[in-house]
A = this chain, B = another copy of it.
């Protein structure tokens, strides 16, 4: 497989020669077929097939100043949280013949910025990002370059770009109210790093708000921030359970952390939800599968992806400003949440 190529990659000129037309005509056959008489077109397309020609992407991008490519930067590919939404996003793009370029930032702002610049340099016609919070200078840069950008996973009408997602605060508020209604008074929280993560911040803030509503002492909230991952969730859970007073419920910022917490709970011999309740956020497949099932907040990932794709496509192709959308979430009650043991 590493031998030097035995065949030069065929070019437009090769096709033109073989079909006995000019390169311009070949180009038209490929891009605006109706501007070419049928007979000529057939001859050209035959030559294309004979040669196995396919246009050189770089050259095309250079000449046309479009790439039919949209870039996405997500925090991680390693877990299912973004996979389902992104898959739906991609499927919708494919329908329109648009290629998706995916990069991941490992939840690090400076890496995200680097990836964004790479995608821009690669000529992405539009950008799909997660979460609205980032350096204004970056939005500025994208704006000056005229690159349509859309943010998902949050809905924030005040963001500098259209956002398609849900209200993280009100979603978590619903869940926290339910937890408190169940009688919990000492609430442990495992959150992703809040710095630079607007979703994480909103979720924690919502729990505080619910406690405040219920007249609970803010100190009854016991918080651990941690990196993303099952193991991290497990470690954070263990830390929480050693604090005094011990929480009767541990609310996690996402399902992956929650699953880690639940695993460690079992290892430590706790009964869930008898000794301690656990909740998540996202409703990924894991949440259904673990036992007891995880009480969590359901997010319409696929719908979010599909709508984001449609919106971004029209921003790119029609140059319209783009419109944000707010999607609804709902609390999903499963076995992992119950009243605290008296």
Contact = CB atoms under 8 A, between A and B. Distances in A.
A37 interface: no
A320 B146 CA distance: 43
Interface in A1-55: 1-7, 9, 52, 54-55
Contacts of A259: 289
Contacts of A291: 266, 290-291
Interface in A149-196: 149, 160-162
Given A83-B77, A286-B286, A1 B147 contact: yes
Nearest to A143: B1
B62 A285 contact: no
Nearest to A145: B5
A84 interface: yes
Contacts of A103: 99
Contacts of A131: none
A321 B59 CA distance: 29
A101 interface: yes
Given A77-B83, A79-B83, A289-B230, A5 B57 contact: no
Contacts of A57: 58, 61, 121-123
Contact of A54 (B1, B67, B121): B121
B99 A118 contact: yes
- How many copies of this chain sit in the oligomeric assembly? 2
Contacts of A122: 57, 99
Contact of A62 (B4, B58, B141, B148): B58
Contacts of A230: 285, 288-289
A117 B143 CA distance: 33
Contact of A148 (B2, B61, B146, B290): B2
Given A79-B80, A84-B78, A148-B2, A117 B161 contact: no
A317 to B, nearest CB: 11
Given A58-B123, A121-B57, A148 B320 contact: no
A99 to B, nearest CB: 7
Contacts of A300: none
Interface string A109-128: 00000000110111100000
Contact of A77 (B3, B86, B320): B86
Interface of A: 1-7, 9, 52, 54-62, 67, 76-80, 83-84, 86-87, 90, 99, 101-104, 117-118, 120-123, 139, 141-149, 160-162, 230, 259-260, 262-263, 266, 285-286, 288-291, 315, 319-322
